[in-house]
Amino acid sequence: MSEQFSFQTRLLHNNQKVDKETGAVSVPIQHASTFHQFDFDQFGTFDYGRSGNPTRAALEETIAELEGGVQGFAFASGMAAISTAFMLLSKGDHVVVTTDVYGGTFRFVTQVLSRLGIEYTFVDMTNLDEIEASIQENTKVIYVETPSNPTMKITNLKEVVALAERYECLTFVDNTFMTPALQRPIELGVDVVLHSATKFIGGHSDVIAGLAVVKDEELGKQLAFLQNSFGSVLGVQDCWLVLRGLKTLHVRMEHSSKAAHQLALWLKEQSAVERVYYPGLEGHSGYDIQKEQADGFGAVLSFELKDKDAVRQFVNNVKVPVFAVSLGAVESILSYPATMSHAAMPSEERQQRGITDGLLRLSVGLESVEDIKNDFSNAFESLAVTK
């Protein structure tokens, strides 16, 4: 990819800009499950579709370049990417994980890795001392989500990388909320970047996909082996959808982050709202770190209403966002973490992490901010009426 171009331009002007054979301005979808070998002794780049496919390779190369890594991998879902990466661990190893990690990752760590004899400790990743205290002799991975989900805590990636290097463990970062448009963890020294490409990277609520990018060739070899062994690769139609989504990533992230910032400031002033979580608010404890390590604050925010009844009333009255599991799309998505993203987490664990029954998460899409404010104002008024 042309290094002299900015990220925004490189989304469009990269190795996949035109098909080398036909000039097609769209990556061809190659459905073949197998590839004829022209030479008995010397196989070509592609032999069998699970091990490699040209359309998937186009996506894998693109995401590796955008994240600044050496190799990319496309998986059937974000969870497939995350669980395959965790398979870099072996029985007897230990992993340190962000407390308010995505619910599906929590489920995988606590109910699957534990059965395989891999130990874990959840820590508040905003507290470096707590991370260090949790590191054991067998700790192999520090797993970070920043901003965390849904309480938007910010982890200082450079500090965690330095700590991991000192204790000779790897760092994994789930970069779903930021995308490489806003944050490139590998540039900060992180070893493996993971994505639910179902979210902002795909961007249109029409594909389930996962991506991983590694910092060095050795990790690349290991993950390629695991990707082929597990076989949870992304289908070619879906690879194409993700490649198409990537083309507008910058403009979508720019619009939605700006809108999320405006909404966070506005929500803070609403009497029905008890608390707003958004790293772009100056009072947010991670504001300075986020400003330094990322190019923006992102398009997701969370806010707390009085209780579950208030949430129900509000959700039943808003018209603009869809009320759904997921985030990172052209349409705004309102989610209720307690029964959606964090349903896999036991209630006490959720409460401890601040994921209360009054908490809603909003992923801001491409609608007009004024329309969202008017819509929310009307819904808040309905709360006041029924108080």
Catalytic residues: 50, 102, 174, 199
Long-range contacts of 306-310 (CB under 8 A, 24+ apart): 306/272, 306/274, 306/358, 307/357, 307/358, 308/338, 308/357, 308/358, 310/272, 310/358, 310/383
Q: Taking CB positions, which residue lies at the least distance from ligand PLP?
A: 78
Nearer to ligand PLP, 26 or 237 (CB): 237
Q: Where do we find the tokens 């061809």?
A: 28
Tell which positions 334-363 bind ligand PLP, by CB under 6 A.
341
To ligand PLP, the closest distance from the beta carbon of 361 in angstroms equals 10
DSSP 321-357: SEE-S---SSS-EEE-TTTTTTTTS-HHHHHHTT--T
* φ and ψ of 105, to 5 deg: -70, -40
Q: Which of 57, 58, 59, 79 binds ligand PLP (CB under 6 A)?
A: 79
Which amino acid, 366?
L
| Residue pair 214/192 in contact by the 8 Å Cβ criterion | yes
* Residue 151 touches ligand PLP, criterion: CB under 6 A: no
Gap between the Cα atoms of 276 and 210, Å rounded: 29
* Residue 147 touches ligand PLP, criterion: CB under 6 A: no
Tell which positions 126-145 bind ligand PLP, by CB under 6 A.
145
Q: Where do we find the tokens 């192999």?
A: 140
* Residue 148 touches ligand PLP, criterion: CB under 6 A: no
Q: Which of 46, 86, 102, 108 binds ligand PLP (CB under 6 A)?
A: 102
Among the residue ranges 55-63, 71-79, 135-143, 260-268, the one whose residues contact ligand PLP (CB under 6 A): 71-79
Among the residue ranges 20-28, 75-83, 87-95, 226-234, the one whose residues contact ligand PLP (CB under 6 A): 75-83
* Residue 72 touches ligand PLP, criterion: CB under 6 A: no
* Residue 208 touches ligand PLP, criterion: CB under 6 A: yes
To ligand PLP, the closest distance from the beta carbon of 105 in angstroms equals 6
* Residue 210 touches ligand PLP, criterion: CB under 6 A: yes
Q: Which of 84, 99, 134, 196 binds ligand PLP (CB under 6 A)?
A: 196
Beta strand residue intervals within 236-384, DSSP E: 275-277, 300-304, 322-323, 333-335, 359-363
Nearer to ligand PLP, 249 or 272 (CB): 249
Q: Which of 55, 99, 126, 149 binds ligand PLP (CB under 6 A)?
A: 149
For the four alpha carbons of 304, 305, 310 and 314, in that order, the dihedral sign comes to negative
* φ and ψ of 223, to 5 deg: -70, -35
How many residues in the shown chain lie near ligand PLP by CB under 6 A?
14
| Residue pair 320/372 in contact by the 8 Å Cβ criterion | yes
To ligand PLP, the closest distance from the beta carbon of 37 in angstroms equals 34
SS3 170: strand
| Residue pair 276/302 in contact by the 8 Å Cβ criterion | yes
* Residue 176 touches ligand PLP, criterion: CB under 6 A: yes
To ligand PLP, the closest distance from the beta carbon of 153 in angstroms equals 13
* Residue 104 touches ligand PLP, criterion: CB under 6 A: yes
Nearer to ligand PLP, 181 or 272 (CB): 181
Nearer to ligand PLP, 170 or 197 (CB): 197
Gap between the Cα atoms of 187 and 215, Å rounded: 9
Instruction: Quote the tokens at residue 130.
Output: 């707590």
* Residue 286 touches ligand PLP, criterion: CB under 6 A: no
Gap between the Cα atoms of 164 and 156, Å rounded: 12
| Residue pair 229/74 in contact by the 8 Å Cβ criterion | no
Among the residue ranges 6-14, 40-48, 54-62, 72-80, the one whose residues contact ligand PLP (CB under 6 A): 72-80
Q: Which residues bind ligand PLP (CB under 6 A)?
A: 77-79, 102, 104, 145, 149, 174, 176, 196, 198, 208, 210, 341
